[in-house]
Amino acid sequence: TQLLEQSPQFLSIQEGENLTVYCNSSSVFSSLQWYRQEPGEGPVLLVTVVTGGEVKKLKRLTFQFGDARKDSSLHITAAQPGDTGLYLCAGRPSGTYKYIFGTGTRLKVLA
């Protein structure tokens, strides 16, 4: 069974701080996506990474795909209360179209 472990599970920080969320697996993925989910809503796609070592930036968010395409990280610079939410990583195994979801990281940014 392919698993995606996210760490930390919970994170509470002050506005302006930086943070990194990790997504790790022993499996190789063809692509990996990061989502943010608010209560009562579906996951909202933030980014998709495809190439090993790829780095993508979305304003204050930086996403990196591991060289071996087994892990990924999400770094937020100068976190704001609006960043509060559940962050999910999801990897697509080679030869399939489905995504395996991580366990999630619940972030709370305090003003």
Question: Which residues of this protein are in contact with other proteins, per CB under 8 A?
Answer: 4, 31, 33, 35, 40-45, 48, 50, 88, 90, 92, 96-104
- Specify the residue, 35 or 63, whose C-beta has the smaller distance to other proteins: 35
CB of 31 to other proteins, least distance (A): 5
| Residues forming a β-bridge with 23 | 6, 72
CB of 72 to other proteins, least distance (A): 14
- Closest C-alpha to 79, from 108, 37, 39, 46: 108
Q: Where are the beta strands (DSSP E) in the chain?
A: 5-7, 10-14, 19-24, 29-37, 44-49, 55-58, 61-65, 71-76, 85-93, 100-101, 105-110
CB of 34 to other proteins, least distance (A): 11
CB of 18 to other proteins, least distance (A): 26
- Specify the residue, 44 or 78, whose C-beta has the smaller distance to other proteins: 44
